[in-house]
Amino acid sequence: MIRSIEFQNKFKSLFETEKKKLLFSSKVASEQFSVQADDLMDEVDFTSFEIENQMRMRLRNREALYLKKIDEALERISAGVFGLCDKCEEDIEMKRLEARPTTTLCVSCKETEERSEKLHIDGHQHKSLGKTIRFA
């Protein structure tokens, strides 16, 4: 099914707003960071600074990943494939898109993927277990 222009515009503006928010927050974060770094350099409490730094890095990584997903979603909108499942090419449920706009899989494909990931892990366990038995 071809999605309406309203549908595409709605998500396009949503992603653009998210993107602006992200870029703004990372700018603020880096400004705050430089101030705090100066203040804390003389303090003995370097460990908490280090921990905070790591937490900030992790947050920034997550933001960068999210930003990448938003860019991909915007590309999907311009390509006219936004809202279609990557695997089965069916419409992704509207509820799901509203909850997770950057998703590229419909609910059933996502579940299949999660199941096969789990099976994959189980398979590994069985393999090593098999080895143990053979060696015993």
The SS3 of residue 45 is coil
Number of residues near Zn ion (by CB under 5 A):
5
109 counts as binding Zn ion under rule CB under 5 A: yes
Q: Residue 29, interface with Zn ion (CB under 5 A)? A: no
Please count the other Cβ atoms lying within 10 Å of the Cβ belonging to residue 60: 15
Question: How far apart, in whole angstroms, are the C-alpha atoms of residue 42 and residue 119?
Answer: 52
Find the shortest distance in angstroms from Cβ 6 to Zn ion: 23
CB of 75 within 8 A of CB of 19? Answer: no
Phi first, then psi: what are they for 84, rounded to 5°? -100, 140
Among the listed ranges 19-27, 36-44, 47-55, 98-106, the one in contact with Zn ion (CB under 5 A) is 98-106
Residues 48-87 that bind Zn ion (CB under 5 A): 85, 87
Among 23, 59, 88, 119, binds Zn ion (CB under 5 A): 88
Is position 110 an interface residue for Zn ion (rule: CB under 5 A)? no
According to DSSP H, which parts of 1-136 are helical? 5-40, 46-79, 94-99, 107-135
Residues at the site binding Zn ion, with contacts judged by CB under 5 A: 85, 87-88, 106, 109
